[in-house]
Structure 1
Amino acid sequence: MFEKIEMMRMARAMGSHASQRQITVARNIANADTPGFKAQDLQPFADSYRAASEPLRATDARHLQVADWTASSRPATTETGVSPNGNSVSLEEEMLKAAEVKRSYDLSLGIYRSALDLVRTSIGRRG
């Protein structure tokens, strides 16, 4: 039932994107001293979510179907300064990305909680 509500679907997708980005950031930090390792990052959530929901198909003119978003997009290699051993990981940038991931995750939880409050209110229960 709740998976049909677009706001809840978006909050779930945003949390999944934050999870995948955290994995990528952690992998970058773990390989900070690996010679030749190239830092990676996911594309922004807004771009990937918009691209996943663009092709709308309907069996009837009155019906709209929205494609499910997945975080299976490949991490893109970032172009940053490269150290003499060929490694492009900057720990300062990765720590900033980790803070962005936490903000994104907290935002997705806030949206999800708000959606649940709206559902509870609509059925007559107060949270």
Structure 2
Amino acid sequence: MFEKLDIFKMAQSMATHASARQSAIAGNIANADTPGFKARDIASFADSFRNQDTGSGLVATRTTHLAYESASHGFKQITAEENMSPNGNSVSLETEMMKSGEVRHQHETALAIYKSALGILRTSLGRR
């Protein structure tokens, strides 16, 4: 019953997006010295959530559906082409660390939304 509340769905989607983006960032950092590696990222949460709401985007519901990469959790991956090093690698460790901080903030926001909604739900039920 409570899993159908939109606020909980949104908080879960935001946390899942943060997890997928952190996986992409970790992969970029791990391949920072790999010649020819192109840095990857995940489309913004707002774009991904908007596409899920309108139904205009394709959403994978399981790993065999639409054949998406497991690390992206169904979110659209973006490949960076600018700022290539001489060996063809486009990973910038400074940029990846900044993205990592953004992801941490997004995950904390998702948890805060979930806790707040849970508190409101408990209060409405007369429980503390």
Q: Please tell me the TM-score bracket, short chain as reference.
A: 0.7 to 0.9
1:69 deviates by: 8.6
Count of aligned residue pairs for this structure pair = 115
Q: What is the TM-score normalised by the length of structure 1?
A: 0.85
Q: CA deviation at 1:73?
A: 2.3
Which one-letter code corresponds to 1:110 in the other structure?
A
Equivalent in the alignment of 2:113: 111
| 1:93-108 equivalent positions in 2, closer than 5 A | 93-108=95-110
Q: Give the aligned partner of residue 33 of structure 1.
A: 33
Letter of the 1:52 counterpart: Q
Give the TM-score of the pair, scaled to structure 2.
Answer: 0.85
- Structure 2: distance between partners of 1:25 and 1:82: 17
CA distance in 1, matches of 2:16, 2:97: 19
1:78 to partner: Cα distance = 1.6
User: Deviating runs (4+, > 3 A) in structure 1?
Assistant: 68-71
- What is the aligned counterpart of 1:125 among 100, 116, 127? 127
Structure 1 residue identity aligned to 2:43 = Q
On the 8 A contact 1:37/1:88 being kept in 2, the answer is yes
Within 5 Å, give how 1:3-82 maps onto structure 2. Answer: 3-55=3-55, 71-82=73-84
Q: Taking structure 1 as reference, are residues 116 and 69 closer, same or farther at Cα in structure 2, changes over 3 Å only?
A: farther
Gaps spanning 5+ residues in structure 2: where? 62-72
Identify unmatched segments of 5+ residues in structure 1.
57-67
Larger Cα Rg: Structure 1 or Structure 2?
1
Letter aligned with residue 99 of structure 1: G
> Could you give the per-residue CA deviations for residues 72-107 of structure 1, whole angstroms, max 9, x where no partner exists?
023110233000000000000000000000000000
Supply the distance in 2 between the matched residues of 1:55 and 1:6 (Cα, whole angstroms).
Answer: 15
User: Aligned-pair distance for 1:21?
Assistant: 0.3
